[in-house]
Amino acid sequence: MGAQQTQNQSSSAAADQGTRGVVIIGGGQAGLQAAASLRSEGFTGQVTIVAEEPGLPYQRPPLSKDYLKARLTDGSDGADGSAGTSASPLPLRGEAFFAEQDIELRTGTVATSVDRQAKTVTLADGTVLGYDSLVFATGARNRELPTPGIDLPGIHGLRTLADAEQLGAALDTAKNVVVVGAGFIGLEFATAALARGCQVTVLEFAPRPMGRALTPLLGDWFAGAHRDLGIDLRLNEGIASFEAGDDGRVALAVSTTGDRYPADLVVAGVGVQPNDQLAAATGLETANGIVVDARLRTVDPDIYAIGDCAAFPCVHAGGPFRLESVQNATDQARHVAKVILGADETYEDLPWFWSTQGPFRLQMANIVRADDETVVVGDADPAHPKFSVLCFRDGILAAVESVNMPSDHLSARKILAAGLEITREEALSAGFSLRAAYKERTQPAAVV
């Protein structure tokens, strides 16, 4: 019924306004999925994606992982023998998809203003697009460091394909790499640089890596594990300035403790800021992201925001939250498509995330809190880790972090999504495993 309604609206609007339908601003993970889901949910009106970056929309996660591995000139195997490391970006959808699904993709241009009365979006190239529904999927941009010397050649961020291409090439010759920020991207890059034979120093202002996202226990574990790999991880130490060498390129990173680190390549990974400026200029509320309700709708009932740019009431975080993950981008996109087509459901999907850092595959189910009680299950020896950190609130399992334990991660996701209760006592009992606990809870009762 919802679909029918929207269709009627869009066809009557089309009569007097030319092209109407859904306009999506942003051609990233969230924007693409929203367009795809509108079609798979049966929407037949016009769907337009406005995408700032040129070329086919691509996946970001490989940019700080596979994409940085050494490549042979034919683009095949990496030097480490891993299969199929191809030098080309991984598209979110192939070219034919857009024609087949009748999705208009306008790349290499930005949306510059929105007129909510006229329900139009104006693009940098002068095009004016009418909409019935507008979706902000504008993502985030790297936070800029105010550090003296930050503009020197040789200092990079890592967010886009263009960034990754520059870094991949720089790693061919780099010797001394300094990474500012021990977050996910910083550490993924650090392990990639290490594998390419570089000397790697990581400066982190906080007392532990990935501090905002992990339990202190796992943060401390990673600090040790990365040092064991050979990364010079400096905690409680920020960046003070960069200095140039004779060639005018960055040569030295000076930290807040006054220590000086040689650097011919620097990556700054100190977090991101949501792209919410256009929404703010449109008169929509922003507070660390575009503020939306539990249906992912802004105060304007025809305008939505999803993915990295959206601050939404997160039931799992217990308040307004902004999440930077593929899961959040794609699940919110699927949800917004249904809401646009008339569904009246709140978004409550369980957050999950992964990061690959050298030999460590980190996976998280749900958001951890600093005061969670923890139980470690498995083998946490950094030489061959395979373990999970179980987080309990009021004695009940609430989140799980796993290292090289995808079965724990998946079981945790299912347990948490289904609202099954695992107690701390149970987890402490000998031989406990999440997978077994899940199977036990969901198997039909034995016939007596």
Ligand X SMILES: Cc1cc2nc3c(=O)[nH]c(=O)nc-3n(C[C@H](O)[C@H](O)[C@H](O)COP(=O)(O)OP(=O)(O)OC[C@H]3O[C@@H](n4cnc5c(N)ncnc54)[C@H](O)[C@@H]3O)c2cc1C
Q: List contacts with ligand X (CB under 6 A).
A: 25-31, 50-53, 60-61, 63-64, 110-111, 137-140, 158-159, 185, 275, 278, 307-309, 324-327, 329, 353-355
**DSSP label of 209:** T
- Based on the shown chain and the rule CB under 8 A, indicate whether residue 75 belongs to the binding site for another protein: yes
Gap between the terminal Cα atoms of the chain:
46
- Which helix (DSSP H) or strand (DSSP E) does residue 172 occupy? none
Does 69 engage in binding with another protein (CB under 8 A)?
Answer: no
User: Which of 60-68, 154-162, 166-174, 369-377 is the region at the interface with another protein (rule: CB under 8 A)?
Assistant: 60-68
Which of 31/385 has CB closer to ligand X?
A: 31
Tell the smallest beta-carbon distance from residue 62 to another protein (Å). Answer: 4
Query: Could you give the C-alpha distances from 176 to 10, 31, 284, in angstroms and in order?
Result: 57, 37, 45
91, 245, 378, 395: which one binds another protein (CB under 8 A):
91
- Closest contact distance (angstroms) between CB of 76 and another protein is 4
> What is the C-alpha to C-alpha distance for residues 269 and 122, in angstroms, rounded to an integer?
32
DSSP labels for 312-327? EEETTTTEEE---SHH
Among 386, 392, 440, CA closest to 416: 392
Return the amino acid letter for 79: A
The residue from 19, 59, 127, 374 that contacts another protein (CB under 8 A) is: 59
Residue 52 interacts with which of ligand X, another protein, none, CB < 5 to 8 Å by class: ligand X
185 binds, among ligand X, another protein, none (CB under 5 to 8 A by kind): ligand X
Residue closer to ligand X, measured from CB, 133 or 355: 355
Compare residues 90 and 376 and give the one whose CB is closer to another protein: 90
Min dist CB 333 to another protein, Å, is: 11
Question: Is residue 407 within the footprint of another protein (CB under 8 A)?
Answer: yes
Least separation, in Å, of the C-beta of 387 and ligand X?
20
Q: Which of 16, 94, 419, 445 binds another protein (CB under 8 A)?
A: 94
Distance of CA 205 to the CA centre of its chain: 22
The interaxial angle of helices 326-340 and 29-40, nearest 10 deg, is 40
x/- string (CB under 8 A) for another protein, residues 307-346? Answer: -------------------x---x----------------
- Answer whether 166's CB lies under 8 Å from 174's CB: no
Closest CA relative to residue 313, chosen from 336, 301, 297? 297
Token duo for residue 9: 């609206």
Give the chain's count of helices (H) and strands (E): 11, 26
Q: Which is nearer to ligand X, 189 or 261 (CB)?
A: 189
Using the minimum distance from each CB to another protein, give the nearer residue, 60 or 208: 60
Binder among 96, 383, 430, 445 for another protein (CB under 8 A): 96
Total binding residues toward another protein, as defined by CB under 8 A = 32
**Separation of alpha carbons 124 and 280, rounded Å:** 18
Largest CA distance in the chain: 83
Q: Can residue 100 be called a binding residue for another protein (CB under 8 A)?
A: yes
What is the distance between the alpha carbons of residues 108 and 56, in angstroms, rounded to a whole number? 10
- Check binding of 93 to another protein (CB under 8 A): yes
Residue of the chain from 43, 97, 312, 347 that contacts another protein (CB under 8 A): 97
Tokens of 17: 């306004």
Residue located via tokens 């507008």: 134
Which lies closer to ligand X via its Cβ, residue 30 or residue 437? 30
